[in-house]
Structure 1
Amino acid sequence: MAPQRRGAPKAPEGSGAAERRRPSSTKSVRAPREVQRKWLRTSVLGACAVLAGLLLWSSMGGDDGVTEVLAHRGEILPGRFIEVPCSEDYDSHRRFEGCSPRKCGRGITDTVITRDEAQRIRSIAEKGLSLGGSDGGASILDLHSGALSVGKHFVNLYRYFGDKIQTVFSEEDFRLYRDVRQKVQLTIAQAFGISASSLYLTKPTFFSRINSTEARTAHDEYWHAHVDKVTYGSFDYTSLLYLSDYLDDFSGGRFVFMEEGANRTVEPRAGRVSFFTSGSENLHRVEKVQWGTRYAVTIAFTCNPDHGIADPVFT
């Protein structure tokens, strides 16, 4: 009787013999895993490269999340106004009929203040700030109160420098400052349909000089988002007169109106006036200045005569 051929005996499940007889299946699993690891490494390296590129772009003046430019530096705008719904901030303050904001919004114009006037106004800021200046990135000069940044503190320049002030400023400087303020006041009144005489200059109204120097105190941290009506209860209308040019004199430093998913920016231009109602409908911030020096003057108005301040007078 011929011997019968039998198959090899089955090894118990999980035994070494069984594992040894399945080398091809192990290789088929290992290969996709190697592909996955290589794909993961490539993806991580690619993501890092993209992130590095975005950071570099931001440091060179990228749009920093801004989705729309309301006013480009190269434009000359006779007037641009955008109406927005008023916030409830004004309800917790005394209202003045015919002045307190019922119509809210933001506007920009390049035809109220000439570039020559802006240059002359800037020279006032330069002369005053030459007497001091912050150790950090933001320096303040307030001709009304006399507040001047010096190191990490403020001094009253009229008391601190005394009669020397008359060798720094002139009557013409103060007259020009008043004329410019009045033009801005009239522009705001016309845009919001109120009487210019119902608006009162309020504090703080001041020059600012910002550069890329590292902040030394909380006063130097100008870039935080804020609401003027919350920070300064007297503010009803805020304006900024820019005294230097974005990308020519400095980088960064753009003014950003912050809205959910739709930030909008104003690029500074010497002589450009930006103005807006001061409530939460105009939450805003200023980008950090990357290089150069940004000059501007903030001019604020209130409807409450009790919070009004006088124009500075040369004595």
Structure 2
Amino acid sequence: MKAAIPLLLLLLFLLCTAALGGLVLWSRRLPRDGLPQDGITEVLAHHSDILQDKFVAIPCSRDYDSYKRFEVGVREEIDAMKRPQPSRTLSQASILDLHSGALSLGKRFVNLYRYFGDKIHDIFTEEDFALYRDVRQRIQQRIAQVFGISSASMYLTKPTFFSRMNSTEAKTAHDEYWHPHVDKVTYGSFDYTSLLYLSDYSQDFGGGRFVFLDADSNKTVEPRAGRVSFFTSGSENLHRVERVLWGTRFAITISFSCDPEHGIGDPALA
């Protein structure tokens, strides 16, 4: 088990840093009163789609009463990339926080940096982290451009994490990733959420689509390696991830805050 974990993490990190060829930006309408429908009635982005400058204007929720109001759009440019290999050593929903080094491993968390100590340099290099920073900066700049704000007024916020999801039976509540949620409620500091997909829907895994929930219809995004989706993090974007039915789904979440007090620096090797 110990030998397999570093290989998986290295694959995840290298895939992330190599994958960004463009961005896909998503937004949603303000949900109406009542429970969202559970069925999917519209696919916003099929796995095979290559989208160019598709914009959708939406009203923000009252979560942003103290913020300038923005509109959200959609864009995508896709680059091919390698696929991560499935691993049996991690639980259904495994997460690695690059800043803290926290790695979910079954029912517990392991501090990756402390666990491997000086050998962490055998897993990650300074070049890997430099590439990560480049990916983060490109996402941040594109969000700022689409929302019409200065990228200097956006701050990277925690957690920033890789996620690995498969069809293994959930062992803890943490593994139950498929429940509807609002990022601003779950994480507090999030104002903009971005997702970089590292594997392909229908090829690397089944299920696992990203679903925006609405009272009159649900909208879904089919992950594609290299596709980046971002959206405002408030209650106008209630969402969930479908349960993965087979294979393994990889992604990385990078989010931003408008409050400098919630800002953090990029992760770096000690």
Corresponding residue number in structure 1 for 2:183: 228
Question: What SS is found at the alignment partner of 1:84?
Answer: coil
What is the aligned-residue identity percentage? 69
Question: What SS is found at the alignment partner of 2:127?
Answer: helix
1:270 to 218, 225, 232: 225
Paired residues in the alignment total: 233
Distance 2:241 2:76 in 1: 20
Corresponding residue number in structure 2 for 1:153: 108
1:304 to 254, 259, 264: 259
Distance 1:277 1:104 in 2: 9
Give the TM-score of the pair, scaled to structure 1.
Answer: 0.70
The Cα of 1:160 is off from its aligned counterpart by: 1.7
The Cα of 1:90 is off from its aligned counterpart by: 2.6
Indicate whether 1:82 and 2:45 are aligned: no
The Cα of 1:104 is off from its aligned counterpart by: 4.4
Corresponding residue number in structure 2 for 1:195: 150
Question: What SS is found at the alignment partner of 1:75?
Answer: coil
The Cα of 1:314 is off from its aligned counterpart by: 2.5
Question: What SS is found at the alignment partner of 1:115?
Answer: coil
Deviations 1:174-233 (A, max 9, x none): 111111111111111111111111110101110000000011111101000011111122
The Cα of 1:172 is off from its aligned counterpart by: 1.8
Distance 1:79 1:160 in 2: 45
The Cα of 1:115 is off from its aligned counterpart by: 2.9
Distance 1:306 1:166 in 2: 31
Indicate whether 1:67 and 2:24 are aligned: no
Q: In angstroms, what is the RMSD of aligned CA positions? A: 2.0
**Between Structure 1 and Structure 2, whose CA radius of gyration is higher?**
1
Indicate whether 1:114 and 2:69 are aligned: no
The Cα of 1:313 is off from its aligned counterpart by: 1.1
The Cα of 1:77 is off from its aligned counterpart by: 1.5
Distance 1:102 1:313 in 2: 34
Deviations 1:2-52 (A, max 9, x none): xxxxxxxxxxxxxxxxxxxxxxxxxxxxxxxxxxxxxxxxxxxxxxxxxxx
Corresponding residue number in structure 2 for 1:102: 69
Question: What SS is found at the alignment partner of 2:268?
Answer: coil
Give the TM-score of the pair, scaled to structure 2.
Answer: 0.81
Q: Contact 2:199–2:223 at 8 Å: present in 1 too?
A: yes
Q: Contact 1:104–1:276 at 8 Å: present in 2 too?
A: no
In structure 1, the gaps of 5 or more residues are: 1-63
Question: What SS is found at the alignment partner of 1:154?
Answer: strand
Distance 1:177 1:241 in 2: 12
Deviations 1:228-261 (A, max 9, x none): 1111221100010001000000000000010112
Question: What SS is found at the alignment partner of 2:236?
Answer: helix
Corresponding residue number in structure 2 for 1:141: 96
Aligned partner letter, 1:308: G
1:265–1:110 CA distance, 2 compared to 1 (3 A): same
Indicate whether 1:295 and 2:261 are aligned: no
Distance 2:71 2:237 in 1: 9
Of structures 1 and 2, the one with the larger relative CO (CA 8 A, separation 6+) is 2
Aligned partner letter, 1:260: A
1:244 to 199, 207, 226: 199
Corresponding residue number in structure 2 for 1:286: 241
- Greater share of strand residues, 1 or 2? 2
Q: Contact 2:195–2:229 at 8 Å: present in 1 too?
A: yes
The Cα of 1:101 is off from its aligned counterpart by: 5.0
Q: Contact 2:209–2:223 at 8 Å: present in 1 too?
A: yes
Corresponding residue number in structure 2 for 1:33: none
- Greater share of helix residues, 1 or 2? 1
1:149–1:285 CA distance, 2 compared to 1 (3 A): same
1:102–1:232 CA distance, 2 compared to 1 (3 A): same
**TM alignment of 1:206-217, pairs within 5 A:** 206-217=161-172
Distance 2:207 2:101 in 1: 29
